[in-house]
Structure 1
Amino acid sequence: MLTYLEAIVVGAFQGVTELFPVSSLGHSVLIPALVGGEWARDLDVSAPESPYLAFIVGLHVATAAALLLFFWRDWVRIIGGFVTSIRHRRMQTPDERLAWLIIIATIPVGVAGLLLEHLFRTTLGRPIPAAAFLIANGVVLFVGERLRRKAEATDEADADARLAKMSIGRGTLIGAAQILALLPGISRSGVAMVAGLLRGLSHEDAARFSFLLATPVILAAGVLKIPDLFGPLGAGIHGQVLAGSIASFVSAYLAVRFLTRYFHTRTLTPFAIYCAIAGTASLIWLTV
């Protein structure tokens, strides 16, 4: 069973850690294991036919809804650009280019998720691998900051117009980096940001592009699991799912609002330090 307290706590953590570059799946695996007792038994993502997995992925819908709300003006323009691109068979305006950039860049992680999600979850979705990958995530963030290319000079255009100037190849490479987030402990937004920094984006633009890329991926993952919540796996936990989803929506909205301001002037280094410390402490606690 899944209690309301477990649902709300996990939902709040999921909303924050999905957008902070610290891995939501890693925290979803580690938190129950560190608390122990009923939490470790109820919230086991690697268990066969686990309702917890359906619950976790179902929370993605709430997180995606928060992203859609925060970036609603951008998505109106992006969807409009896609429609005009199809209608006029062109890819000329910034909105048209950005629409296709997002579509093409999300294909690799979408295909990889369908093929590899079950394998990675059942073999690696356990506390000790999650702690080890959280440490690796910290290393990736730290090294990415040290190796990043100097951001190209920004012009007076808005952020979406700057992103639309990226080549399809560069955007696809950044999107493909999200495949690493199938490993529990590796952050989707973190690896996408690092890939963006290595390709010359500023922290602000790299964060924005990672959030735009994550929205359809997170939403699709949640929608695919929603039927499970209305089947046997969701029996008796619909109220808990609703409570967790509300917590996830609120925390995700606050997280993206904070991060879009934070990355105006800040870097990934504090998150790298957190991941290294949290992962190491979790590994010691779980093994000793």
Structure 2
Amino acid sequence: MSGLGYLEAIAVGALQGVTELFPVSSLGHAVLIPAIVGGQWATDLNVSRPESPYLAFIVGLHVATAAALLLFFRRDWVRIIGGFVSSLRHRRVETADERLAWLIVLATIPVGISGLALEHLFRTTLGKPAPAAAFLMLNGVVLYVGERLRRVADRQPVLVGADGGESGRTDPDRADARLSEMPLRDGIVIGCAQILALLPGISRSGVTMVAGLGRGLSHEDAARFSFLLATPVILAAGVLKIPDLFGPLGDGIHGQVMAGSVVAFGSAYLAVRFLTRYFHAHTLTPFAIYSVFAGVGALVWLGIH
């Protein structure tokens, strides 16, 4: 890992924290940026290698990103975990917190199973620059088509909390109450969309938001549910591979991992804070345009070089 200095670690950490939550694919950027920079980066920062030290570095960044999500949604997670424990204790699913807790659990199972079964295969066979660029273009198409096909506002169900607050104009408690009223099948469909994010270049937050829009959620609620769903998945993926950081793959990069993780935490926190406000009144279209042009540009660059 001689090619990964502290400056590079900080740059990759900042990129990871932002692109994990922005609907533009963190894994796609993790594959493409080293290839575009070239030199030692292209050699050492290669996630497609079966035993890649770069992957161990990315693992540390994922844990930091999940920590930022947990901090930002800490009050929500206190209620959600409380609802989960309450439902087990009383063997019921009645309150909004209990319903939302089980909605997240059941929506997370498909991607958890798929990740364990397919992550290594997809990363080693498709985690190369050209496929990542192509999937990034596809990500843009999915985001754009999702926006074009989303239900118009006057046809979207307006889920309200007990106080009658409307979608897009409420506090977190009301937002979670709205999400808890989502039919279970819709939550599972949205959760299954995360499986596509195993492909480098396809954004987890992007495809889950598109699925949420397709099930009638507003942009704000679709983004919120996407971030809540992503938290246990990102955290579990990081924790599962944390032992790699203390084995041969982590030799010589502990300091870089720490530096990159601190930056990833900060950038992820700022990103989720920005996006939860952005999607109050904006759409996925700018990210769709970026993804298409970035994918095309990467393919052209790689073809020339």
TM-score (norm 1): 0.99
Distance apart, 1:230 and its partner CA: 0.3
Instruction: Find the counterpart in structure 1 of residue 263 from structure 2.
Output: 247
Pairing partner for 1:186 from 168, 188, 202:
202
Distance apart, 1:58 and its partner CA: 2.2
Pairing partner for 2:83 from 81, 84, 89:
81
Instruction: Find the counterpart in structure 2 of residue 153 from structure 1.
Output: 158
Find out whether 1:274 has 2:276 as its counterpart.
no
Instruction: Find the counterpart in structure 2 of residue 210 from structure 1.
Output: 226
Distance apart, 1:214 and its partner CA: 0.1
Instruction: Find the counterpart in structure 2 of residue 37 from structure 1.
Output: 39
Q: Once superposed, which parts of structure 1, at least 4 consecutive aligned residues long, lie more than 6 Å away?
A: none
Aligned partner letter, 1:205 = D
Deviation per CA, 1:49-87: give whole Å up to 9, x if none.
101011112211100000000000000000000111001
Identity %: 78
Contact 2:133 2:201 in 1 (8 A): yes
Instruction: Find the counterpart in structure 2 of residue 119 from structure 1.
Output: 121
The count of aligned residue pairs is 288
Task: Between 151-160 and 212-221, report the one with greater CA deviation.
Answer: 151-160
**In 2: Cα distance, 1:93 partner to 1:63 partner:** 29
Pairing partner for 1:57 from 56, 59, 71:
59
Instruction: Find the counterpart in structure 1 of residue 169 from structure 2.
Output: none
**In 2: Cα distance, 1:112 partner to 1:182 partner:** 9
Distance apart, 1:41 and its partner CA: 1.1
Contact 2:159 2:181 in 1 (8 A): no
List gaps (5 residues or longer) in structure 2.
166-173
List gaps (5 residues or longer) in structure 1.
none
Instruction: Find the counterpart in structure 1 of residue 236 from structure 2.
Output: 220
**In 2: Cα distance, 1:54 partner to 1:169 partner:** 35
